[in-house]
Structure formats: C-alpha cells, structure tokens
Amino acid sequence: MTQLPGSWRRTAAAARLLGADGEVAPTIFAEMSALAASTGALNLGQGFPDEDGPAEVLEAARAAISDGRNQYPPGRGEPELLEAISEHQKRFYGIDVDPSTEVIVTAGATEALTATLLALLDGPGDEVVVFEPFYDAYAAAVGLAGARLVPVRLPWPGFQPDLDALERAVTDRTRVILVNDPHNPTGAVFSLDVREKIVELAHRHDAIVVTDEVYEHLSLDGPHVPIATMPGAAERTVSISSGGKTFRTTGWKIGWLTAPADLVTAVLTVKQYLTYSNGAPFQPAIARGLRLPDTFFAGIADEMRAKRDLLGSGLAAAGFTVSRPSGSYFTVADAAPLGADDAAELCRTLPERVGVVAVPLSAFVTAEHSDEYRSLVRFAACKRPEILDEAVSRLAELNR
C-alpha cells in the first residue's frame, strides 16, 4: 500500500461512511450482487430489472450518440428533457412546473437527493425526519451534511407510520422530512392520513418536504399521489424521481427534481459542483420515454403487479409470512416461520443453501431498531417471471 502524506486526515464526513473495520464498506446491494455473481445464485437482492426497457427509448440514445450529442449538456439539463419532465408532471399529476426555472436534471435520483440535502442542511443542529427502514443513500447524504437523522419506524406488516410518533419526531429542529413513496424496501404506499400529516407538520415547523418518487409508475393498487399535489405542499416540496425504474435503464443515471424556483436555485448551486451535468445522449432518450403513451405506463404497472403476485404467493407457499406491497420493486417476507430469526445470517447462507440472493431488512435500519426487523427479508420482484418461479421453488427447499 502507498503511504499517504503525514498531513492527511480523514474528514469527519468521510469517517462517518466507513465500515466498522475502517475499510470502505461496499453498499449492501453491491455486496449482494457480488455474492450472486460468485455463487451463480439468482439475484433477488439488488433492485434492477433483468430485461431491457422500451425499444424507442434505447434507440433514441443510440441516435443521440450518432447525432453527436456527446458533449456536456447544460447544467440544468437538456431543454427537451426539462420540457418533457414539465409535461409529465402536468399530464400525470396536474402539476404546473416551469421548465426553465423549476426543474433540474441530475445524475440519478441519488444526486438529486444528495445535492438537495447538502443545500438544505447546515450541520449538527439540523434534523432530517426519515421513515425507517430507509434507502441506504439517505443516511450517507445526511451524514455528509453533518446533520442528524431522526427515524420514524414503519412497523411490519403494513409499514404505515404511527401518526403520534411522526408528530413527536418533527420539531423546530427539523429542516427536512424525507419521504420515499412508493417505499423501498417495504413496498408501502403511504395513506392519505400520513401524507396530510406530513404536510401539516412541515407547515407547523417550517420544514421542507423532500420526496423520493423513483417508483412513481410502479404504484400497484391505485394511482400515485405526489405529496406536491396535496393542498399547501407544493411551495415547500422538492419532488425527486428518475428514469431508471420506469424505463429499465438503472445504469443511465438520469434523474431530476422539481421544486419552487428558489429551492431549485439553492440545489443547483450544489449540483453544479457535484457533477455539473451528465448523460448527454441519455437525456433526450429519457425525454422520449416520458412522452410515451399512457399504455406504456399502465403496462409496466400491470407487469409489476403480476410479478408481485407471483413472488408473494411463491414465498407464502415456501413457508414465509409475506407482506403485500402496494408499490415499488420489492416484497418483504418474514423468515421466522421457517425457523430463521436472523435474516442477515439467512441471507449470507441462502446462496450456498438454495441458490438465491436476497437482502435482510436490517440493512435498512439503525442499530437501535434492528431487533424489530431481525427476521425480515427483502426480495426484488423486478425479474423475469421464470426467474421468480425458479427462485421461489428453490426457496421452498428451506422447508424440507
């Protein structure tokens, strides 16, 4: 190993992201995909589709490369994508968004989230209320901003927060209420009561609502309702999404956010020094995708609903107790009926035992609450039906 200069110090922000052993720990998703690759197991761990998305979208990217759209796009994003995002918000949700001042294109939803949190948080006195279990990047970004995470638990199996607990968590220290709906890893879609409470508390404590809606078109039991459409919400909401899930292009990393112009300006000041811009030929391709007919969007939800049902019934037949997700890529199942109280241990051994990879819910929770989620496992349903079929029949071997 090369010796670092004597003056080198790890920053506090970087230190917060290190594993316990002082090494850079891979994300749980990277770890699980590596395990799937090394064992040849079926990967129901990391949430990415195993089929390509719409041909028109892929073709639009190829055409953009051939047409020489290979240099830096504008920092805010290609005008045609900004327009397409604005049209999309109007078409699906009736929201008016000015494409020139109220939208930014980002390097995936991940950059939108990180830039927003870095722009809004001002160190140790600031708190971010987050629903637990939560997506791994949230704690990392709040950690980079040096702020404090305040988790509100989503109890198994319905995964709706207790409104009193939510009310206690939000205080005048709360700068951001971070809402992921449909929710990863639980598949929950928040009830109207919860959405109303979030907006009411944001007003009472002068907080900003930041939404992560990357599964907006995978709301499976009814239309997706963005928080920004709730009365009084739009003026204090940053709405984040991305093309990865909708168009099965997770590797393209084209995301975006919409917000009132002043908030967009605040976030843009950070974003322009994170990546400046990204994905030149993919931006027009995602614009093409956002303009696909309604049948495309209804079709991906229908397909995901069928996969959810297939996975859910297969897991139940294999002996798990299964929660019923209303959206997202994921299904959570309890392994306790199979005699497995420790899902982390189960997931470490599953590839060898039956050739399936899944993720323990403990990977999405803080240490204080991990007991409550100890026997729960997240399975990704965004795979071909024959893969889901094979996976659940392998999992049934656990019961023999």
Report the interface residues with ligand PMP, using CB under 6 A: 47, 108-110, 135, 180, 184, 212, 214, 242, 244, 250, 253, 255
Q: Is 353 helix (H, G, I), strand (E, B) or coil?
A: helix
- Smallest gap from Cβ 361 to ligand GLN, in A, equals 12
CA angle at residue 201 from 180 to 170, to 5 degrees? 75
Q: What is the DSSP string of 23-86?
A: S-PPPHHHHHHHHHHHHT-EE-SS---SS---HHHHHHHHHHHHTT--SPPPTT--HHHHHHHH
Nearer to ligand GLN, 214 or 267 (CB): 214
What is the nearest approach in angstroms of ligand PMP to the Cβ of residue 382?
10
Among 27, 70, 265, 349, binds ligand GLN (CB under 6 A): 27
- Whole-number minimum distance, CB 255 to ligand GLN, in Å? 12
Q: Which two tokens stand for residue 155?
A: 């109890």
For the bound state, the minimum distance from the C-beta of residue 383 to ligand GLN, rounded and expressed in Å, comes to 12
232-251 per-residue burial string, b: 16 or more CB within 10 A, e: under 16: ebbebbbbbbbbbbbbbbbe
Q: Choose, by CB under 6 A, the member of 36, 44, 47, 237 that binds ligand GLN.
A: 47
Q: Compute the least distance from the CB of residue 328 to ligand PMP, in Å.
A: 7
Residues 6+ away with beta carbon under 8 Å from 319: 337, 338, 396, 398, 399
Nearer to ligand GLN, 44 or 119 (CB): 44
Q: Report the alpha-carbon distance of residue 157 to residue 251 in Å, rounded.
A: 31
Pairing of strands 356-357, 359-360: unpaired
Q: How far is the CB of 386 from ligand PMP (least distance, A)?
A: 23
Select from 29, 138, 256, 282 the one that contacts ligand GLN (CB under 6 A).
Answer: 29
DSSP for residue 216: G
Q: Is 319 left (phi over 0), alpha (psi -120 to 50) or beta?
A: left
Choosing among ligand PMP, ligand GLN, none, which partner's interface includes residue 29 (Cβ < 5 to 8 Å by kind)? ligand GLN
Return the axis-axis angle of helices 28-39 and 343-354, rounded to nearest 10°: 20
Report what 27 binds from ligand PMP, ligand GLN, none; CB cut-off 5-8 Å by kind: ligand GLN
Residues 180-199 binding ligand GLN (CB under 6 A) are 184
* End-to-end Cα spacing for the chain: 48
Contact between 46 and ligand GLN by CB under 6 A: the answer reads: yes
- Contact flag: residue 312 with ligand GLN (CB under 6 A): no
- For residues 251 and 389, give the distance between their C-alpha atoms in angstroms, rounded to a whole number: 26
Residue closer to ligand PMP, measured from CB, 109 or 210: 109
Nearer to ligand PMP, 246 or 340 (CB): 246
In angstroms, give the least distance from the CB of 226 to ligand PMP: 15
Phi, psi angle pair for 244, to nearest 5°: -55, -50
Q: Could you say whether residue 249 binds ligand GLN (CB under 6 A)? A: no
Q: Among ligand GLN, ligand PMP, none, what does residue 237 contact (CB within 5–8 Å per kind)?
A: none
Would you list the DSSP string of 305-331? HHHHHHHHHHHHHTT-EE---SBSSEE
Select from ligand GLN, ligand PMP, none the partner in contact with residue 242, using the beta carbon and a kind-dependent cut-off of 5 to 8 Å. ligand PMP
Please report, as ranges, the residues that interact with ligand GLN according to CB under 6 A. Answer: 27, 29, 46-47, 184
